Chain A
Amino acid sequence: MNDLSRRAVLAGLTGSAALAAFSAPALALTEDQAVAFVRDMAADIEKTINSGRSEAQMYQAFEKLMNKYADMDVIARFALGPAARSASSSELSSYSAAFRGYLSKKYGARFREFIGGDIEVRGARTDKRAVIVSARAKPKGQAAVAVDFHVSDRSGKVFNVILEGVNLLTTERTEITSLLDQQGGSLSKLTAELNRRG
């Protein structure tokens, strides 16, 4: 996937015109912009956690924050794996909507353990088409953990979060493809299941 020679071949095949069209909407994200973006997000998350709202309200707030700061369509489609290719666009969009609810509830529950915690941005580096913002999160009374936020220069949003090496994209792909298997490979059944969980 990240193989250089393969990309070189691809570039040769698709031609420079197609490539230019593909990279046209690039935002040329700077590291400072990415850091500011992650800081805003961390502040918003902390505000929500410490707002003292009810659980249900908090999950809704998290879903809004995720839509604002994370590229949820890309995360949802990646998590679906190869099945995303054969799905119709209406199937995909209802799946994606269900995925948002599911994910905000799942991670909302984790965030709640974070009450009184602290996120400190440590630095940033550019890797191909992403800026990696490194932070340390310190839950109250627990050891600090390393968290990286990958901000895309295509969408300007977060597309992966890595907690002590465990990344959101592959963890969710593992989960969603297993769920899809359990639903007999049916995307509509998977969507219903995610709605039930969300």
Chain B
Amino acid sequence: MAFVPVLYYVFQSAKNRLRCNVKPIQDGDVRPSIARKLKFTSWLPVSALVLLGVAGCTTGNPAGPGEFNDPYEQTNRRIHNFNKAVDRSLYRPVSNTYGTVLPQPVRRGVDNFSEFTDLPRRIVNDLLQGKVEDALHNGFRFATNATFGLLGILDPATDLGIESRDADFGETLHVWGVGEGAYLAVPFFGPSTQRDLAGDIVDLVTNPLAYVLTPPESYYPPSSTVGEYAGYRYTYRETLNDVLDNSADSYATSRVVYLDARRFELGMSSSGDAEDGGVLDPYEELYGE
């Protein structure tokens, strides 16, 4: 069921590349059999979208720093305000309690365990992206921390130079050539994009561990992830509170920060290799015209 929005989104994005001439993502060698396949079956997404009555180029792929595609801004802003209220009444107090009650080494252990149990999902995505080296790296990391790291509570792998490398299905879609889509504020979860939301939904079912574990063990990974989020909210509370409370427009700030950080993560950001998202030159804008 989770695949429905994804398929819909893949189609939508393919349509946009066809009809709006959106530049494809540059990813060099790991370029996508799926995107090519979609080109051959281009009639399919187009007719599907005509049937759905979706029009316009709403899911382009603006990659320049600070550029965004936000056709749902009105709704997004309402959700953003809702999320701020949830943060203030729930996430903030809970994460403060979490951070104050649990000592730092315990929180570190929770973070480690959460990341450890996430590794199988990352390996799946590494493979889907054709990144064999990353898959082996993460596999080795999993084996190391499973054995010498007391089932992932400690992280000896990082000390051995096998550092944490993230991979998610939103990234996989990016590697396959799917555009970022519209910016979204997701209730309870915050900033995202159409592609990343689709990726998050798929990632709910891509972790092989979930199919191996049975209760009560199967409850540990998601619990540790909740703990990890609380710990994150606590550790970066000053910066996050500053963005939410002191920004002139916390919605606009969240949007620019999320998109730039995410594009950087995907290797396509301001200092990255996006086609026109290179180095921002204020001198040219201010004095060059």
Contact = CB atoms under 8 A, between A and B. Distances in A.
Given A128-B278, A178-B252, 7 more contacts: A130-B281, A150-B279, A152-B283, A166-B256, A166-B264, A167-B260, A167-B280
Could you say which interface size class chain B belongs to? 35 or more
Given A110-B239, A128-B279, A174-B256, A162 B286 contact: no
B34 to A, nearest CB: 26
Interface stretch (B51-59, B81-89, B268-276): B268-276
**Interface-centre pick from B239, B248, B287 (highest chain A CB count, 10 A):** B248
Interface residues of A, number: 45
Interface string B43-86: 00000000000000000000001100000000000000000000
Interface stretch (A28-36, A45-53, A56-64, A74-82): A74-82
Contacts of A167: 65-66, 260, 270, 280
B289 interface: yes
Interface in A101-125: 106, 109-110, 113
B278 A165 contact: no
A154 B269 CA distance: 23
A170 B256 contact: yes
Nearest to B255: A174
Contacts, number: 120
B270 to A, nearest CB: 5
A165 B276 contact: no
Interface in A125-171: 127-130, 132, 134, 141-142, 148, 150, 152, 154-155, 159-160, 162, 164-167, 169-171
B133 interface: no
A148 B271 contact: yes
Given A78-B282, A127-B278, A171-B256, A178 B238 contact: no
Interface in A42-98: 74-75, 77-78, 84
Contact of B286 (A74, A128, A170, A181): A74
Nearest to A148: B271
24 contacts: A2-B276, A3-B276, A74-B286, A109-B242, A110-B242, A113-B238, A142-B235, A148-B271, A155-B283, A165-B264, A165-B272, A166-B260, A166-B264, A169-B65, A169-B66, A170-B280, A171-B253, A171-B257, A174-B66, A174-B255, A175-B248, A178-B253, A181-B248, A181-B249
A127 B263 CA distance: 19
B57 to A, nearest CB: 20
Nearest to B252: A174
Interface string A170-196: 110111101101100000000000000
A7 to B, nearest CB: 8
B66 A173 contact: yes
Interface in B233-251: 235, 238-239, 242, 247-249
B162 interface: no
A121 B271 CA distance: 16
A164 B282 contact: no
B155 to A, nearest CB: 11
A173 B148 CA distance: 48
Given A22-B288, A109-B242, A179-B248, A130 B271 contact: no
